[in-house]
Amino acid sequence: MTLHAKLSASGSHRWLNCSGSVQAESEYPESNTSFAQEGTSAHELADKCLRSGDNSDQYLGAVIEGVTVDADMVEYVQGYLDFVRSFEGELFPEQRVDFSPWVHDGFGTSDAIVITSDKVHIIDLKYGQGVIVDAENNTQGMLYALGVYNDYGYLLDAQDSFVIHIYQPRANNFSEWEISLKDLLKWGEWVKLRADEALEKDAPRTPGDKQCMFCKAKASCPALLKFTQEIIIAEFDDLDDLQDPNKLSNAQIKKVLEGKKLIESWLSAVESSVFAKLMNGEKFKGFKLVEGRSLRQWANESAAQVALLSLRDENEVFTKKLISPAQAEKLLGKKDAKQIQDLIIKPQGKPTLTTEDDKRPEFGNVENLFDELNN
């Protein structure tokens, strides 16, 4: 059975930013999705290969952690294996590390640790693709680094810095970030204060995009409710102004945009909470479940095909559509896909509003952009 620390490294982005989330989430059961199970399978496959020296294609079709290893998993995991093996040093795959000097009972399992002649590399395989993970100031990686220093400090000599790597192949996201041992230990002092506070019964809750994103308690979080009320109500003298954004000041608009993502996330969590109650047979005054819209479909496609072909020509009954570049690359495989790269273009994306700290370059000159996008 896999053990989980109360103040886990993987959940550190939450409890370091919202100390009250630890107590709040303790009231909710653990859940496991098919996506999480797929990620567990990929990690187990990677561990098997790193320990045995195998390549991932040797496990094609095998069932690992309840998931069948397919061609996609083989390709993505092999890329990770090649990356890890590119470092010359002492490798510790799927290594449990102890960072309890800074976090009470703190431990976690790093996907791969490589101690080279001058640096320590903390490599984290992220198999998901929905949320982009960045190596810079990555608290999970930094806690693992503290754990390596605690467990293997005796092996370190000239290695006075740690490099955190995020390998997220399905999102085409690869990043690295370096921190000195001195700065890491200084950060550890701050972590200890936050960790001690997180274990207090009445630890404060602090809403924010990172810590609230996957928090199981956000639907009933009083701090998040207060945050929402302050933005929607306290910021405006007249609620009628909400109907016309042109009447809002720049300061009010900025406040709304900064809180938009978090508020939408909270509203969705509240709706999901009520939906779950009703699905479980409970009553919720003012709301009910009804049958949603559905599209008609063939009761028996084979019978429909026979009937239609007796009435019309085959060209009228069937439709054909060229597969997308992504589907073609998957069909052809890495080797043959190189032959179609010259046929693929990536049009410029439409402008998207985001915050100034977004790492993507600014769109640039938007003069006449509206006309271009509508031509």
Q: Quick: pLDDT tens for 233-248.
A: 655 655 555 556 677 7
Dihedral angle over CA of 358, 172, 168, 84, nearest 10: -120
Please say which residue of 177, 198, 219 terminates a domain. 198
Q: Is 159 left (phi over 0), alpha (psi -120 to 50) or beta?
A: beta
What is the arithmetic mean of pLDDT over 124-152? Answer: 94
Report residue 372's pLDDT band, with 50, 70 and 90 as the boundaries: low
Rounded CA separation 174/166 (Å): 6
90 Cβ neighbours under 8 A, 6+ residues apart: 114, 115, 155
Shared domain for 112 and 157, answered yes or no, is yes
In a domain, 364, yes or no: no
Residues 193 and 215 both lie in one domain: no
Edge-first strand listing for the sheet containing 173-180: 90-98, 107-115, 120-125, 161-168, 173-180
- Beta strands 120-125 and 161-168 are parallel
69-78, 84-93, 129-138, 255-264: segment of lowest average pLDDT: 255-264
pLDDT at 346: 85
**250 and 157 part of one domain:** no
Is residue 1 scored above 50 in pLDDT? no
What would you report as the CA-atom Rg of the chain, rounded to the nearest whole angstrom?
26
Same domain, 268 and 172: no
Residue 20 in any domain: the answer is yes
pLDDT tens-digit map of 301-333: 999 999 999 999 998 999 888 988 988 888 888
Q: Is residue 268 part of a domain?
A: yes
Strands 161-168 and 173-180: antiparallel
Are 89 and 217 in a shared domain? Answer: no
Number of domains comprising the chain: 3
pLDDT digits (tens, 9 = 90+) for 354-365: 777 777 788 766
Residue 303: other Cβ atoms inside 10 A: 10
- C-alpha 90 chain-centroid distance: 29
Q: Is 322 in the same domain as 221?
A: no
C-alpha distances out from residue 127 to 36, 133, 214, 342, Å: 9, 11, 17, 29
Q: Are residues 129 and 274 in the same domain?
A: no
In a domain, 359, yes or no: no
More confident residue, 17 or 369: 17
E-assigned strand segments in 42-144:
63-64, 67-68, 90-98, 107-115, 120-125
Confidence of residue 79 (pLDDT cuts 50, 70, 90): very high
Distance between alpha carbon 30 and the CA centroid of its chain, in Å?
Answer: 18
pLDDT at position 252:
75
State the chain's mean pLDDT as an integer: 87
Least confident range from 121-135, 183-197, 255-269: namely 255-269
Task: For residue 361, tell me if it sits in a domain.
Answer: no
Degrees to nearest 5, angle at CA 267 with 266 and 271: 115
The pLDDT of residue 269 = 83
Residue 367 lies in a domain: no
CB 207 within 8 A of CB 262: yes
What per-residue confidence (pLDDT) applies to 167?
96
Domain range spanning residue 225? Answer: 209-279
Segment (H or E) for 94:
strand 90-98
- Whether 128 maps to a domain, the answer reads yes
Rounded to whole angstroms, what are the CA distances from 44 to 37, 38, 357?
11, 10, 35
- Check whether residue 323 and residue 190 sit in a common domain: no
332, 316, 312: which is closest to 324 by C-alpha? 332
Task: Please check whether residues 56 and 164 belong to one and the same domain.
Answer: yes
Looking at 198, 219, 241, the residue that finishes a domain is 198
Per-residue pLDDT of 88-107, as tens digits, reads 999 999 999 999 999 999 99
215 and 181 in one domain? no
Number of separate helices (H) and strands (E) present in the chain: 13, 7
pLDDT in the model for residue 2? 46
- Do 107 and 174 fall into the same domain? yes
| pLDDT > 90 fraction of the chain, expressed in percent and rounded | 49
Element (H, E) at 244: none
Overall pTM surpassing 0.95 (yes/no) = no
Please, are residues 9 and 108 in contact by the beta-carbon 8 Å criterion? yes
Whether residue 29 lies inside any domain: the answer is yes
Nearest Cα neighbor of 18 from 284, 294, 192, 203 is: 203
User: What CATH number corresponds to the domain at position 93?
Assistant: 3.90.320
Count of CB atoms within 10 A of residue 13's CB?
19
The better pLDDT of the pair 283, 155 is held by: 283
Do 246 and 147 lie in a common domain?
Answer: no
Return d(Cα 86, Cα 13) in angstroms, integer: 29
